[in-house]
Amino acid sequence: MNDYYLVKKTDKLEGTVQVSGAKNSVLKLMAAAILIPGVTQLSNVPDIADVRLMQQVLESLGVKVSWPEAGTVRIDATTLSSHKAPYELVAHMRASTAVLGPLVARVGLASVALPGGCAIGSRKVDMHIAGLESLGASCRIEHGYIEVEAPEDGLKASDVTLEFPSVGATENLILAAVGAQGTTVVSNVAREPEISDLIDFLITAGVSIEGRGTTKLLIEGAATNKLQGGFTHKVVGDRVEAGTFLAAGALVGGPVTVTGFEAEHLSIVLKKFREAGALTEVLDNGVRIERSGPLKAVSIQTLPFPGFPTDMQAQFMALMSVAQGASVITENVFENRFMFADEIARMGADIRIEGHHALVNGVPELSGAPTVAPDLRGGASLVLAGLVARGETRVAGLQHIDRGYENFEQKLRSLGAQIERVA
Ligand code: EPZ
């Protein structure tokens, strides 16, 4: 794909934009539907590349997926015809590993290609495997696939503590525990809003889960044939998409109102926008942001929820690159998530990387340049930088942005951004 965004300096960005459902929730909800021998529906589903990929993964397992209307996905997992998620699909999307847990819970077997490394680090699955093994499953890596098998008499409940609150490992463990006999206790789980959304979905399907939103979950195993479909679950609003548009408002000035998400899912990000000089107002269906004074340098460090989200790190770096003063951005979650820094440096940003720290010296103005999106959030952040850079900025590598942002340029243009997609 050779198309690129052409972004011009935009002096005024204002208006209201509504975000779509959360990519990092809907992919796991689609995987969770594998557990239910019936039909479930998801609404507020973003039509993005990753959702289409997950649809293909499910269809490769014999699940029927259709879109009865825009934004709604109907999933019929009454019967499965395979327990193998093929390499050519998984290689493109790490989130495909989310089918491991539900497959081994439902049919006692799962074979999922190892996810390739990706731009932001090696992205191991050791905690996923340790979690499944704690429920009695046997896991082995063969020919690039993770092969998981439940014991003859099924998975057994266990008391597990995650080494690190990994989002993916938490989700796989919850989904596998649904098929384990007894009540599984999982400690040190991730608490991202997308995990709570998954728990809400499972509770609607009839699973008993205690501890939603805390670091300790109790999941009561049930025979998966007892789980009930026949409902529609609305996907939680995408807090990262919301944070991206709010960052644009803080950068250019606003006032910009972003709706369709829960403000408390971005508490610490809003606090940091305020420390940087922006004014934020929480509305009943979103947040309004504007800035008239100077952008001030503010340091952040990324942490699991409710800490500053790693998925907002690049967007905040774009903001700090034109702030007054020096800031330190520390990336604690991924081992290699500063590629965006190299790209924005070509636009005149003054950033020095030292291990997990990026030292940012704000400059008065960036200059437009041809750039390439290194990954999903880095790509979106190059667009943000282009909005305040002198002249024109090109952002290529749009396949990254298309993975997680629905109608990105249309939403930005509705706020007055000078952006167009050039094929
Ligand atoms: C999810 O990835 C999100 N992706 C990521 O969003 C997000 O950045 C991340 O959670 C953290 O919030 C989806 O939900 C599809 P992790 P995930 O397991 O589950 C290491 C975006 O831009 N680790 O919490 O892969 C891992 O390498 C994407 O939307 C192990 O070492 O994240 C990473 O350094 C990017 N072993 C750290 O933990 C494991 O078994 C956090 O990973 C699992 C993870």
Convert the pLDDT of each residue in 77-136 to its tens digit.
999 999 999 888 888 888 999 999 999 999 999 999 988 655 666 668 999 999 999 999
For ligand 1, whether the C-beta of 170 sits within 6 Å is no
State the chain's mean pLDDT as an integer: 96
- Is the confidence at residue 288, as pLDDT, over 70? yes
Q: Which atom of ligand 1 is nearest to 128's Cα?
A: 40
Q: Which atom of ligand 1 is nearest to 50's Cα?
A: 15
Q: What is the pLDDT of residue 115?
A: 80
Mean pLDDT of the region 188-204: 98
Q: What is the pLDDT of residue 193?
A: 98
Please, are residues 39 and 74 in contact by the beta-carbon 8 Å criterion? yes
Please, are residues 13 and 217 in contact by the beta-carbon 8 Å criterion? no
Percent of the chain with pLDDT over 70: 98
Whether 139 is catalytic is: no
Please, are residues 372 and 5 in contact by the beta-carbon 8 Å criterion? no
Q: What is the pLDDT of residue 114?
A: 86
Q: What is the pLDDT of residue 302?
A: 98
Please, are residues 207 and 198 in contact by the beta-carbon 8 Å criterion? no
Least confident of 76-85, 140-149, 379-388, 408-417: 140-149
Closest C-alpha to 158, from 141, 138, 180: 180
- Is the confidence at residue 253, as pLDDT, over 70? yes
Which residues does 142 contact at the CB level (< 8 Å), separation at least 6?
Answer: none
Convert the pLDDT of each residue in 131-182 to its tens digit.
999 999 999 999 989 999 999 999 999 999 999 999 999 999 999 999 999 9
- If one compares 313 and 336, the residue with the highest pLDDT of the two is 313
Task: Return the residue whose CA atom lies nearest to atom 10 of ligand 1.
Answer: 167
Task: Return the residue whose CA atom lies nearest to atom 4 of ligand 1.
Answer: 24
Least confident of 27-36, 69-78, 141-150: 141-150
- Is the confidence at residue 367, as pLDDT, over 60? yes
Task: Return the residue whose CA atom lies nearest to atom 1 of ligand 1.
Answer: 167
Least confident of 51-65, 179-193, 217-231, 364-378: 217-231
**Which of these is catalytic: 118, 218, 339, 353?**
118
Q: Which atom of ligand 1 is nearest to 194's Cα?
A: 14
Please give the distance, rounded to the nearest whole angstrom, from the Cα atom of residue 263 to the centre of ligand 1. Answer: 22
Sign (positive or negative) of CA dihedral 383, 385, 391, 396: negative
Please give the distance, rounded to the nearest whole angstrom, from the Cα atom of residue 376 to the centre of ligand 1. Answer: 13
